[in-house]
Amino acid sequence: MENEGDEVERTVRWLEDVASGVLKREFEFLTLQGLRVVRARKDSFLCRFVVPDRLSDRDGNWHVGAMATLIDDVGAATVYCATGTGHVKATLDFSVSYLSTATLSLSLSLSLAVHTCDCCRL
């Protein structure tokens, strides 16, 4: 894993602690359990996740609430790392591309990045 600074290491540790239950955040632990950070940089994260049976909806697909929690937590961690604010803030807007229904046992790659323009500097 490539780390660039204290924020990256601290953010990776936070995600791993949530995913392993160390932080006692039960809802997020149930949703992120098994998440693996593959690459971490100041402005982007690449994670792997296999959708477990416990996160299924009544049709046997990945429950959209569990999906949103995973995206929100990893996205917030990415923003935290890019801004170096010292804490994770509420997220404002994500662009998510859904290519198909996520089924159970599906192995996913999550690639999250913070993009800036000249009008809004972090």
Note the pLDDT tens digit of each residue in 40-83: 988 888 999 999 999 999 998 999 889 888 888 888 888 778 77
**What pLDDT score was predicted for residue 118?**
54
Residue 119 lies in a domain: no
CATH code (residue 77):
3.10.129.10
Does the predicted model carry a pTM greater than 0.85?
Answer: no
In a domain, 44, yes or no: yes
Note whether residue 37 is domain-resident: yes
Task: Round the average pLDDT of the chain to a whole number and report it.
Answer: 80
Output 55 or 117, whichever has higher pLDDT. Answer: 55
Residue 120 within any structural domain of the chain: no
Burial of 63 (0-12, 13-18, 19+ CB in 10 A): middle
Q: Strands (DSSP E) along the chain, which ranges?
A: 36-41, 44-50, 107-113
Domain that holds residue 81: 6-113
**Residue 29 counted as domain residue:** yes
18 Cβ partners below 8 Å, 6+ apart? 25, 28, 29, 32, 73
